[in-house]
Chain A
Amino acid sequence: MALKMVKGSIDRMFDKNLQDLVRGIRNHKEDEAKYISQCIDEIKQELKQDNIAVKANAVCKLTYLQMLGYDISWAAFNIIEVMSASKFTFKRIGYLAASQCFHEGTDVIMLTTNQIRKDLSSPSQYDTGVALTGLSCFVTPDLARDLANDIMTLMSHTKPYIRKKAVLIMYKVFLKYPESLRPAFPRLKEKLEDPDPGVQSAAVNVICELARRNPKNYLSLAPLFFKLMTSSTNNWVLIKIIKLFGALTPLEPRLGKKLIEPLTNLIHSTSAMSLLYECVNTVIAVLISLSSGMPNHSASIQLCVQKLRILIEDSDQNLKYLGLLAMSKILRTHPKSVQAHKDLVLQCLDDKDESIRLRALDLLYGMVSKKNLVEIVKKLMSHVDKAEGTTYRDELLTKIIDICSQCNYQHITNFQWYISVLVELTRLEGTRHGHLIAAQMLDVAIRVKAIRKFAVSQMSALLDSAHLVASSTQRNGICEVLYAAAWICGEFSEHLQEPHQTLEAMLRPKVTTLPGHIQAVYVQNVVKLYASILQQKEQAAEPEAAQEVTQLMVDRLPQFVQSADLEVQERASCILQLVKHIQKLQAKDVPVAEEVSALFAGELNPVAPKAQKKVPVPEGLDLDAWINEPPSDSESEDEKPKAIFHDEEQRQAKQRQPEADEEELARRREARKQEQANNPFYIKSSPSPQKRYQDVPGVEHIPVVQIDLSVPLKVPGMPMSDQYVKLEEERRHRQRLERDKKRKKKKDKDKKGKPRRHGSLHTESDDDLAPAQQVDIVTEEMPENALPSDEDDKDPNDPYRALDIDLDKPLADSEKLPVQKHRNAETSKSPEKEDVPVVEKKVKKPKKKDKKHREKEREKKEKGKEARVEKEGEDLDFWLSTTPLPAAAPAPEEPGVNAVITAPKEEDEEPQREEQGDEEDDEDNERDPEKKSSKHKKKKHKKEKEERSKDKKKSKKKKPPGDEAAEPVENGALDEEPLPVRAHVQLLPPGREFLH
């Protein structure tokens, strides 16, 4: 034995420790992988030895290798061995390794249950602590179920160090084992008022995490949190609580009203930026939840906006960023107050920090109005020119489009301007968003009928200069716009000034270098164009000109017929044959124009993107039902098993329906198509095929700005949408003058003596702005009976859903946590019986004070249960309806045992156990709560104090003797120290001296 020991320690001297391993890896830079695999072989040898120190050393090295990306799960069993070492030194190495690599799939994890339980009840607080820390990283549903009760006991440990860890880990336990939430919740709630600030903070942390996911279940805790908020001085706790209130206010507007004042006070008083920021955020949440109901909150909004402005103007980029972030939240409900700071936001666009620029862009999106759209977009366009790096430029581009197209183009008063902006954007180099611009062009041209003429003129110019757009390969993305341009020119060819020129532009040889899908559109639209030219020429009785055009087509189309793209080839050869046929007819002087243009008669209506999805399924139609008898399996599958298990087989076939084979799918698809054809609700092509192009209304009245199309489009970089800025200003000026004139007249008519009050401060509101053109934006078609909205089903896999549990309902006996069970079954009965009362004692211990009381209570309990539930609801109502505290928040309390005694008077909700005891009195008092409650409270507190001291005694008695001997006074001594408040303002500058 002794020899073994000596041998062990000699071995250790020769083993590498962690430092040697690290050094070795650093010395083997060239062949690191080889060196490490060598080390792993050594480690495997070390793990085979009996000496626990050697094993621990090996596991420690493995933990390091895990960080470098090596899988160490093969050593899981050795890790458990090291975890169960008696020495703390080794134990923590084991737990660290386990926390890094154990997970729910680790099969040996179930072997740890008893070891962890042993460590949890260890007399040494650090053994317990290390086990809790480790467990927090790898707790599984099984571990959570088996250990929940042990951990719950630890929540009342004498050492705050253990208490806070136990409280925190409960969150993980709840997640893995939701049944534990209700039995453990009362104690967790108690910990909110723990004398130790660390434990209190942990409890706040856990409840906030819980409440964030299922806020409605935690509304009843609002009064308690309110009290904490007005009394705590720990910024961490305050931040958490304030964030929690932010999540609760949307559910209970009255809570918001109550919060405004203390939050405002905090905003004024705190010097910690982090706290200030969270307060502002929650005030914003409150204001959003109140949005309409409350008057007089403009002061609060002003305060928030003003504080945020200070943040944004700060030189600290972090504050600037957060300021913008919060500002965008205000924007949603109170755009007016943010719009006042447009200058500031625009300024942020020049910031060197990209994150800040992106935030500012987000803000701008909400800040535009009819009035400032042109100006803002102009500013953005100038940034597009300046921007370095394609990502930011692309971001700008999408933002411009988003801003302009938002809410069905509601801010655009002049679509000519918008088209010009889009055309200008096509000159961006290297953008990936050509398809976005194209989509916008198509959308606007289709839906804004009045703009078609202008759009067509611009698009034909674009096609003319297509060589600019498509020339260099790096501008690949942008050639997408030619898709739109070609389509628009073809579809609305009747608006073309020089159709012949455009036709030639579209038939240039260069076009064949474009991507296939664009060529296909070219080919198709060339015919539309051709059709309208034919018609024109025939009407003008110029048969020769018509034949010329046909000849042009016949000459140029073959280049597309040779295309490698199937789509292009197919279309081109079809059309070529058609044109050749027309040529023959033309030679015989047969008028063809009428028939050719009939090919493209009718108008294409925009269909909403969701329309297809919203077609309601007619009653009685089951889309998944078989239309014909399902094919028997015998066709495709082997027959033998079928003969024997015939019935079963068929049943299976029915269940397997969704994965039917290709044939069936095809059949079903066919069937559905048939169905759709007969379905009156299914959207078909335009209802009126007779409709002609000519009847586009109102084109003549449009005051079209003269654009000299003979001049080719300008070279990239020369903005042309600028002219609209000036035009727009002039137009508005004119409008204003006219209005003023009218008003003057009216005024004169009215009476000369009575000066009008608002005459001088007339402001131009958005509504006053008449759009430049009478624009009718065609709405997208939706099927009849469209379903109102497609509701997103909640994710059934959401782990937090299981924690949506009503916490106010009284506990049923069946819900108790499973109590420690030993694996050997024969003894399982007795310890269980022993343990159950312990749990019960713990839960109810405060009531133990006087026996009579308890008995009485037990009688009442059944009756009381229901009343209590109701009462809690009422309490919250009462609390919410009382007016908020006067401006001066109660002085911060000493966190300590006394905290409970000096509870503010308005506090109505006591922990549940109180209510049970004093229910009768409470009900008596309800009429006149003010008078009696103070006396009543005193009594309560006295009682409580006694109870507490008794608790202590009891828990001490329960403690293992070793622990008590070690640090006997710990429990009393720790309470006095309040957690020093750390100022969050002075964030120490990074890169201080201490890291070299």
Chain B
Amino acid sequence: MIQAILVFNNHGKPRLVRFYQRFPEEIQQQIVRETFHLVLKRDDNICNFLEGGSLIGGSDYKLIYRHYATLYFVFCVDSSESELGILDLIQVFVETLDKCFENVCELDLIFHMDKVHYILQEVVMGGMVLETNMNEIVAQIEAQNRLEKSESPQL
């Protein structure tokens, strides 16, 4: 199970916060902050796993993250997930973002948080991996965008 998916930038500003377990808002912010401090002090050339899941869940949980340019993508998962698999999943997610936004950059995430959520919903649902095939994910997202377009009034 995935417990939380956090995206924040190099300064710790949250860009996407998705918890699959209920935490009050202030705790959520605290977790984001602490996670940020944990990953910030790690060089880029060291491993992408972090134990010490005192933040969420306890010892069964790991933080698995990737750092892309200005953004950190952090998944908090328990031991039922494969570490390397989750790393790949982050890659799939980011590549999907790249396809949907055409050369995604941090600004896309800032201004279209809702869309990022919709994309994530096609990858992970309720903390479980829903789809890993990028073509399938993109196809579903595009179909929903078309549906949305057909609904919007022609001004």
Do A and B pair up? The answer is yes
Chain A residues near B (Cβ < 8 Å)? 9, 18-19, 22-23, 60, 63-64, 66-71, 87-89, 92-93, 96, 100, 103-104, 124, 126, 132-133, 136-137, 161, 164-165, 168-169, 171-172, 198, 201-202, 205-206, 208-209, 212, 235-236, 239, 243, 273-274, 277-278, 317-318, 320-322, 352-356, 979-980, 982, 984, 987-988, 990-992, 994-996
- A sample of 6 cross-chain residue pairs with beta-carbon separation below 8 angstroms, ordered by A number, consists of A87-B151, A198-B136, A235-B85, A236-B85, A317-B47, A979-B132
On whether the beta carbons of B46 and A236 are closer than 8 Å, the reply is no
B133 CB–A CB distance under 8 Å: yes
On whether the beta carbons of A355 and B114 are closer than 8 Å, the reply is no
CB B23 to nearest CB in A, in angstroms, measures: 9
On whether the beta carbons of A355 and B130 are closer than 8 Å, the reply is no
On whether the beta carbons of A995 and B84 are closer than 8 Å, the reply is no
CB A180 to nearest CB in B, in angstroms, measures: 16
Contacts of A89 in B (CB 8 A): 148, 151-152
| Total A-B pairs, Cβ < 8 A | 180
Contacts of B26 in A (CB 8 A): 69
On whether the beta carbons of B49 and A318 are closer than 8 Å, the reply is yes
Contacts of B55 in A (CB 8 A): none
Q: Residue among A172, A235, A990 with the most chain B CB within 10 A?
A: A990
Q: A88-B144, A136-B126 are in contact. Are A355 and B50 (CB under 8 A)?
A: yes
On whether the beta carbons of A277 and B84 are closer than 8 Å, the reply is yes
Q: A104-B22, A164-B131, A273-B84 are in contact. Are A356 and B68 (CB under 8 A)?
A: no
On whether the beta carbons of B47 and A67 are closer than 8 Å, the reply is no
Residue of A nearest to B7 (CB): A67
Q: Residue among B94, B110, B117, B152 with the most chain A CB within 10 A?
A: B117
Residue of B nearest to A356 (CB): B47
On whether the beta carbons of A18 and B128 are closer than 8 Å, the reply is no
CB B52 to nearest CB in A, in angstroms, measures: 10
Q: Mark B131-144, 1 if CB is under 8 A from A, else 0.
A: 11100100010011
Residue of B nearest to A102 (CB): B22
On whether the beta carbons of A18 and B117 are closer than 8 Å, the reply is no
On whether the beta carbons of B14 and A68 are closer than 8 Å, the reply is yes
Contacts of A980 in B (CB 8 A): 133
On whether the beta carbons of A209 and B80 are closer than 8 Å, the reply is yes
Which of A100, A172, A274 is the one whose CB lies under 8 Å from B82?
A274
Contacts of A209 in B (CB 8 A): 1, 80, 128
On whether the beta carbons of A278 and B148 are closer than 8 Å, the reply is no
Which of B83, B113, B130, B143 is the one whose CB lies under 8 Å from A164?
B130
Q: A19-B111, A67-B113, A89-B148 are in contact. Are A133 and B84 (CB under 8 A)?
A: no
A89–B144 CA distance with the chains assembled, in angstroms: 9
On whether the beta carbons of B82 and A278 are closer than 8 Å, the reply is yes
Residue of B nearest to A23 (CB): B111
Which chain B residues in 20-56 approach chain A with CB under 8 Å? 20, 22, 24-26, 28-29, 43-51
Contacts of A995 in B (CB 8 A): 68-71, 94, 98, 104-106
Q: Residue among B50, B85, B126 with the most chain A CB within 10 A?
A: B126
On whether the beta carbons of A994 and B98 are closer than 8 Å, the reply is yes
CB B71 to nearest CB in A, in angstroms, measures: 6
Residue of A nearest to B89 (CB): A236
Residue of A nearest to B29 (CB): A69
CB A448 to nearest CB in B, in angstroms, measures: 34
A69–B82 CA distance with the chains assembled, in angstroms: 31
Q: A67-B14, A136-B126, A321-B49 are in contact. Are A991 and B67 (CB under 8 A)?
A: yes
Contacts of B87 in A (CB 8 A): 318, 987
Which of B25, B106, B113, B114 is the one whose CB lies under 8 Å from A71?
B25
Contacts of B66 in A (CB 8 A): 990
CB A754 to nearest CB in B, in angstroms, measures: 57
On whether the beta carbons of A205 and B128 are closer than 8 Å, the reply is yes
Contacts of B16 in A (CB 8 A): 67
Q: A18-B113, A136-B126, A355-B51 are in contact. Are A990 and B88 (CB under 8 A)?
A: no
Contacts of A100 in B (CB 8 A): 18
Contacts of B103 in A (CB 8 A): 994, 996
CB B141 to nearest CB in A, in angstroms, measures: 11
On whether the beta carbons of A994 and B104 are closer than 8 Å, the reply is yes
Residue of B nearest to A135 (CB): B126
Q: Mark B62-85, 1 if CB is under 8 A from A, else 0.
A: 000011111100000000101111
A34–B5 CA distance with the chains assembled, in angstroms: 29
A372–B58 CA distance with the chains assembled, in angstroms: 35
Contacts of A66 in B (CB 8 A): 25
On whether the beta carbons of A96 and B118 are closer than 8 Å, the reply is yes
On whether the beta carbons of A318 and B48 are closer than 8 Å, the reply is yes
A164–B95 CA distance with the chains assembled, in angstroms: 22
Which of B18, B28, B83, B127 is the one whose CB lies under 8 Å from A318?
B83
